[in-house]
Every structure is written in C-alpha cells, then in structure tokens.
A and B are shown apart, each in its own frame.
Chain A
Amino acid sequence: MAKWKLSKSQLRETGQGYLFMSPAILTIVVFLIGPILFALFLAFNRVNLLGDVSFDFVWFDNFTRMANDERALIALKNTAFYVGIVVPVQTILALVLASSLNAGMKGEKWFRVIYFLPTLTSSAVLVMIFMWMYRPDGLINTLLSGVGLPTYNWVNDPSVALISIMIMNIWATAPFFMVIYLAALQDIPDSLYEAAELDGASGIQKFWHVTVPLLRPVTAFAVIMGIIGTFQLFDQSYMFSGGSGGPNNSTLTVVLLIYQYAFSNNQMGYAAALAVALALIILTATLIQRKLQKDEQVY
C-alpha cells in the first residue's frame, strides 16, 4: 500500500536505472518486441504491401486457412519428420563422439578440432559442397557403388531429398553438441567412476549408470536447442531446391513456406500467421520436453 508511493530519492534511483538500461531497452523494443507485436498484428490481417498498401482485419481467417492449405500440412509433416530423426540422431552421435574423445586417446585435441570444423563452416558453403558430392556421379554414389551398395539420386528423387538434407545437417550440427557434452563429461568427478568400479561395474555399465544420468541436464539442453534449430530448417532446403521446396514438395519446410508466402506470393498476413503457429508448435514441443525431463534444468 505504502509501497505505491515512491520517495524522491527512490524515483531518482529508478530513473537512473532505466536511463542506464535505455540503450538495451530501446534495442529490444525496436528489434524484438516491436516486430513480435507487429507480426501478431499481421497474423490477423489480410495484408497487401505491393502497390496500394492495405490491412484488412480478418479475425482468424489466416489460421483457419492453414487447415485447408495442403502445402502447409506437407511442410509441417516434412518438418516433423525431420525433427523426429535429426534431434535424436545428432544428440546420440554427439554423446558418442564426446565419450570417445574423453576416453583419453592419443591426439585427442586434434580430433576435437577436426570434429568441430563442420560446425564452423557456413551452411551455404556446406550445401554447395554436399550438393556436389550428392550428384548421381558424385563422391557419395561412387563410394556406395564401390562397396556394392545401391546408389541414389540424392537431390532430385523426392523420396530421398529430405534424407540427404538430414544427413548433411546431422554431420554439421552434432559436433556443436559434442563440445558441450565434452565440457560436461570433464566435470564428472573421477570418484564416481572409482566407486562404480569398486562395485564391479563394467565399462558399459559405468557409461549407462554414471555418465548418462549425470549428463541429463546437458542432454535436455541439446534436445531443446536441437528441436528449436531443426524446426526452423530453412537455408539448406532453400538452397537444395532453389527456393521451391521441390522435388514434389519433399524439401518444403515450414519456414521455407513462410518465406514463399511472404516474399514470393505477397501474402504477408498469412505468412505471419504461419510464423505464429510455428512459434506455438516449438513452444509446445519444448514444454513437453521439459515435462518429460523435469529435474536438473540448467538453461
């Protein structure tokens, strides 16, 4: 009650605080909060920006339209499939790579650097290199046929194009999480392993019952960041398909669809509605993940 009235000195102090924060607040308002509010505004409007600019408030039309939009459903299905495969695989791969590097091999530091290189490569460069390797007469098919395995038309066959992108992204992203795992692994005290050894645990048992549980917070982090990152797949599929999401919509992702509606079809309102829907989907996925893994949050 009395708290509502601030004394002069308190006011000055508060004012000073906000003054010091003002550069940050201004930046956040202009570049984060403003655009978010504007995106929400757009999502409820039919927007035309080309020529005569118009905003018609259409309530939930943009959202109901999604249910009938075939391509939105395909995009969502593709994206979900992509997330479902890439997140577990890259997380497990990162853990395996990190444990192998933590085992105290010779030249461990070198391997760490080498493993990390793909993460440092720009995704555009990566896609160019992979598309070249994915050619029907390219490196990957040559290797496959060399050992007697079937070859694929990696880029142009609708049934494998998305898988090609998955392989590429797992290869590029796993090392990033590997480094995080590695840092966490080095934090696990040796005494725990010694205790496990005294109890007669084997190497595999130590891994499953000591290492994995102690890495749970890091795993949670890796999974959430992975989900967020993979749901937003755009640049790779954009480059792979030249912006079309083809062949046969097989590499169409939600963000690519948003881009197409916003910049090619001039339907900014619907694009914003899709973006809001995507944000909600990611939020839900993250919340479910948090629920499943309640303890030891570190993020």
Chain B
Amino acid sequence: MKRAMWLKSIGLTSVFLAGAVLTACGDDGNNAVDGGVNGDGDGEEEVTVRLTGWQSSPTEQRYLEETIEAFEEEYPHINVQMDTIADQYMDVLQTRLIGGEAADVFFLDAFEAPRLIEAGVLEPLDSYVTEEFDVDDFEEPLIEAFRRDGQLWGLPKDTSTLALFYNKDHFEEAGIDTPPETWEEMEEMAKTLTVDNRYGLGIVTDLARLYFIAESQGGEVTVDNQANFTDPNVIDALQPIVDMKNEKEIAASPADVGAEWGGDMFGTERASMIIEGNWMIEFMEDAFPDVNYGVVEVPTINDNKGTMAYTVSYSMNEASEQKEEAWQLIEFLTGKEGMEIWTSSGLALPSRQSVAESLEYTDEAIYEPFIEGTSYATVWADDTNLPIINSNFENQFVSAFLGDQELEEAMEEAERVANNEIDN
C-alpha cells in the first residue's frame, strides 16, 4: 500500500513539483543573456535558442551540427543549444511542455502534430513567414500535414519515403534478372526466393508502413478521426500480406526471425526483399557493406504507384521567450541554404522542390526511387487520434499476422477498441 503510494508520489511530484520548481529556475537560465559584457561591438545581446530533437545516428548528428554551425556563423549573436531525447520522444517532449521546460524549437513528427496543435502549445508561424522564404516551394502534401485551422504550425525539415530493397545476389541465385514492378511479380519472386532459413519478403507490420497498402483498394483507414479498419476494401487490401506470411509462407516480419528491425533482417540476409526507407542506405553501408543490394520503387498495386512519406517539422514553442531568434533558426534550417547542407547527407530527402532539384547525390541510382516516391506518396499524418488508431491496429494486426486469428476478426476488434478509446 505504502509503496503503491510511493509510486504515485514519484510520478506526480516529478511532473508537478519538480516541473514547477524547474520552470522557476529554468526561466532564469534559458535566456543566458550576456548583456553585451563581451563587448562584441555590434550592440546586439547574445541570445541562446534551445533546440530539441532526436538523433538516429552519429552521422545525422554531425550533419545537423554542421547546419547549425552555418547558422551561427550567419547570426553570430544567436547561440544554439541542441539537446537530443534518446527514447520516447513524445512522452518526454509533452512532459517538458507541461512543466514549461520545453525548448524554443523542436522536432515534431507530422503523425503527432495535430494533438499538440489542438493543445495550443505551438506558435503559429504564418506571421513570421516572409515572401523571400518562399513557402510555396515546399512539397504541398508535406507542408499540408502541419496546416490546421488555416494556420501553419511547423515547417517540414525533410522527408523520407519507402522503396523496395532487394538482394542482388539472392536474385542471381534464383535466376531472376529484374526486380519486380508489380505486386503480383513481387509475390511470385518472393516464392522463388524463399529458402529454408530465408524469406522472400520482409514485412514491417506497422500501420505507418501499411497505410498506403490498406488504402490501395479504395478503402479508407480513418474516417472522421475514427478507425475504419472494417471497411471491406481495407481488409481486402491487407489480406494478401497476411496470406503471404501464413498460407504461402514466403514472408515474415523482422520480429519473427529475431531481428531488431527491417534493416537488421535484410542486412543479415534473412529476407531477400524488404520495403524500407532511405535511412537504410547509410545503415547498410555502415553495418553490412558486403551485402550487394539494389533499390527500386515500391511495386505497383493494381497499376497504381504508392508509397509512404514521413515528415518532421521544426515547430516553435508557444511559450518561448525569444520567438524572433527561434524563428530565425527555423527559417535558416528549413530555408534553401540550411536544407541543402542538412539533406546532402542523404539520410533524409529535401522537402523543398528547389533543393530536391539542385541536390546531387553521389549514388544517384540508389536515391532515385525515394525521390520519385515523394511525388505520389501518402503522408503519414491524419488527425488527433491517429496515435490511438495506430497502436490499436498494431496490436491486433500482429495477432492476425501471427495466425492467431482471422484478419477480419482482428480488424473488427481493433476498430472497436480504438473507437471506444477515442469516445472516452
């Protein structure tokens, strides 16, 4: 009993008490105004802008630091203080926002954005945007993900899309010359490619990956901010995925083979094909340089091209005390110059058309399918309830994928539980 209470006291005090205390301290610390003590001569006070994000690799960190350095050179009076949240980004960010301790500028995934916009913790950016900044240059679907109630709440820093990775050596062994162009071809090849300890196709069972497939037969996964998994068109579209795993036994998920994620599964050659994002290119180079692979666009379903696009914005904290400088940082990072430095890594693709055109990657053939994809991709973003819809889908789809229940049953259950949770 006592310990149960302790648990609560820890949880609650950390949010309320500590949060309140930290706010008080933080406000003094944040500004870090030097007050011209250094006597730089330009008369401007030195200002510290805090930036929070995540980091998926040291290379990514290096490129971001490089971009920020370029910014600091251009704005010598602004000092950017970057910190990364390693895990459970949204939980930590939300807790910091509640405690008044969040940074001035932070990364925000399009998928999570509506909830924060609705909560009113973001600063609308419309009034800051200048003609010169050229908002129309951003890919429309990407920037659309951060528009709500006629206002702009973030600027997409970059995008990532999915494409089909295939192992060239396995293809050669199986006597297949060209990678698949249609979904039927891919299934056919997966069958040929499956050998005893290796699957033809690796499938990541997240809704974030399957969304475009689920909607490929004309169904809609969400309607009016509620789950709509039982739409027969959605079930029909997803059924082939489940069949490939259970009936045909030519596909598996990374977890089935004990791999951490798709890249791990593909790199250790436990799958000959997998639909993954452009982030995998760098990973393969680092971890599995010997795997001989190629990349093509995601095979067409019913002659329609499709893929997913993910995007993350720089958004501004409504409670920021140096909004002008924070905007200058966002403006630079999502401006043409900053985006060019940042996306030259190839870890993420530019969200501005002009940058996408001017940027040249050394390994063009590998990047092309991803860049092509941006023009027809479905953006992973919907409305405030997408996180709830997503987690319920995952929970139930996995059990259908494992063969524990029929897909239709699983989707009924997922829809019921999700909408029940939403109504509460």
Contacts and interface: CB of A to CB of B under 8 A. Distances in A.
B169 interface: no
B11 A262 contact: yes
A51 B114 CA distance: 13
B1 A279 contact: yes
Interface in B1-52: 1, 3-9, 11-13, 15-17
Contact of B398 (A138, A231, A248): A248
A279 B118 CA distance: 33
A49 to B, nearest CB: 4
Contact of A135 (B8, B88, B258, B398): B258
A217 interface: no
Contacts of B424: 65, 68-69
A153 B4 contact: no
Interface in B379-424: 387-388, 391, 394-396, 398-399, 402, 404, 417, 420-421, 424
Interface string B78-113: 000000000010110011011000000000000000
A226 B424 CA distance: 34
B399 A248 contact: yes
A164 interface: no
B360 interface: no
A180 interface: no
A275 B399 contact: no
Nearest to A278: B4
A68 B416 CA distance: 12
Contacts of A248: 395-396, 398-399, 404
A87 to B, nearest CB: 15
B258 A39 contact: no
Contacts of A88: none
Contact of A263 (B95, B388, B399, B417): B95
B389 to A, nearest CB: 13
A192 interface: no
A263 B3 contact: no
A114 B266 CA distance: 40
Nearest to B12: A35
B257 interface: yes
A70 B13 CA distance: 29
Interface residues of A, number: 54
Interface stretch (A1-9, A195-203, A239-247): A239-247
B281 interface: no
A50 B117 CA distance: 11
A69 B417 CA distance: 8
Interface residues of B, number: 45
Contacts of B223: none
B121 interface: yes
A235 B121 CA distance: 30
B258 A264 contact: no
B94 to A, nearest CB: 6
A158 B8 contact: no
A85 interface: no
B258 A136 contact: yes
B232 interface: no
A13 to B, nearest CB: 30
Given A50-B119, A138-B258, A232-B4, A263 B13 contact: no
A157 B258 CA distance: 11
A52 B120 CA distance: 7
A156 B404 CA distance: 13
Contact of A156 (B15, B88, B255, B417): B255
A5 B19 CA distance: 44
Interface in A127-173: 135-138, 153, 155-159
B90 A32 contact: no
B69 interface: no
Given A35-B13, A153-B258, A248-B399, A51 B5 contact: no
A264 B114 CA distance: 14
Given A228-B1, A243-B88, A263-B91, 16 more contacts: A32-B9, A36-B8, A39-B9, A50-B121, A51-B118, A51-B120, A69-B421, A70-B420, A70-B421, A156-B258, A228-B3, A249-B395, A258-B11, A264-B91, A279-B8, A283-B1
26 contacts: A36-B8, A51-B118, A52-B120, A70-B417, A135-B258, A136-B256, A136-B257, A137-B258, A138-B258, A155-B255, A156-B258, A157-B402, A158-B404, A159-B404, A244-B391, A244-B395, A246-B398, A248-B396, A258-B11, A264-B91, A264-B94, A266-B94, A272-B8, A275-B11, A278-B4, A282-B4
Closest 4 CB pairs of A and B: A136-B258, A51-B119, A35-B9, A51-B120
